[in-house]
Amino acid sequence: MTYIKIACVADNSDKAGSSLELLKQKYEFIDDVAQADAIVALGGDGFMLHTLHEYMKADKPIYGMNCGTVGFLMNEFREDNLIESINAAKRYNLHPLRMVAVDKNGKEHHALAINEVSLLRQTRQAANLKISIDGKMRMQDLTCDGILLATPAGSTAYNLSAHGPIIPINAEVLALTPISPFRPRRWRGALLNHKALVKIEVHNPKKRPVSAVADFTEVRDVVSVTIKEERKKNIHILFDPGHSLEERIIREQFTD
């Protein structure tokens, strides 16, 4: 596919704003994202994640250029040959996780996560959780600060900070990673098939309240959370050749 009609969005930082003005002097972007063949996003990883969520229904490939700090999901910012770079980029199709969280009042909350779904303690009391995979109970009592389920794309984010494994982007697995586990002390998580249905239930939610977070969406006082890959949703990210997502994930495993 050839990308001709390009839209461009930027975060509210000075660097992203000045980069946008610089590009506007050289390229004619369209204002209507619905009519665009691709979207350029200027900012950091956080803004890229917001952009992916915002335009998920538009089903448009997004080419990020780093105007932030780490820029793991971004390409290097270059003002020259932008259209050629977009058309030479490698396209990755990702699927988000769907979270269904039930709160203490019995209300269901639905949200999508590109990086991870996290359950976190709300107070000084540690969370006490029960874990089931595909309807089979796997852990009756996990006492911890929380737990998360990460996609390959999200495995280098919060998951990595919680000492979870980095997952190759094309691996059809998810990382289930505890956050500061107290009991069992030696459990470091699990790798699950990407089709797995994960259910996490909260023991004694009144005394040990827990919140659930799907990227940017937080639900307080949950009693149970189910998580499954949403195969009907597609997310398209464009990366420069030689600076692919596979290469970044491999390189991340050899950094100090």
Is-catalytic flag, 37? no
Looking at residue 97, its amino acid is: L
Q: How far is CA 235 from CA 7, 143, 150, 238, in A?
A: 17, 34, 16, 10
Q: How buried is residue 179: exposed, middle or buried, by Cβ count under 10 Å (0-12/13-18/19+)?
A: buried
Query: Which residues have CB under 8 Å from 214's CB, separation 6+?
Result: 97, 99, 111, 112, 113, 117
Other Cβ atoms less than 10 A from the Cβ of 234: the count is 13
Q: How buried is residue 232: exposed, middle or buried, by Cβ count under 10 Å (0-12/13-18/19+)?
A: exposed
Q: Angle CA(147)–CA(228)–CA(108) in degrees, nearest 5?
A: 80
Q: Which of 11, 37, 45, 215 is catalytic?
A: 45
Query: Does residue 209 have a cis bond before it (omega within 30 degrees)?
Result: no
C-alpha span between 47 and 40 (Å, rounded)? 12
Nearest residue to 175 via CA among 187, 193, 161: 193
Which residues are known to be catalytic? Answer: 45
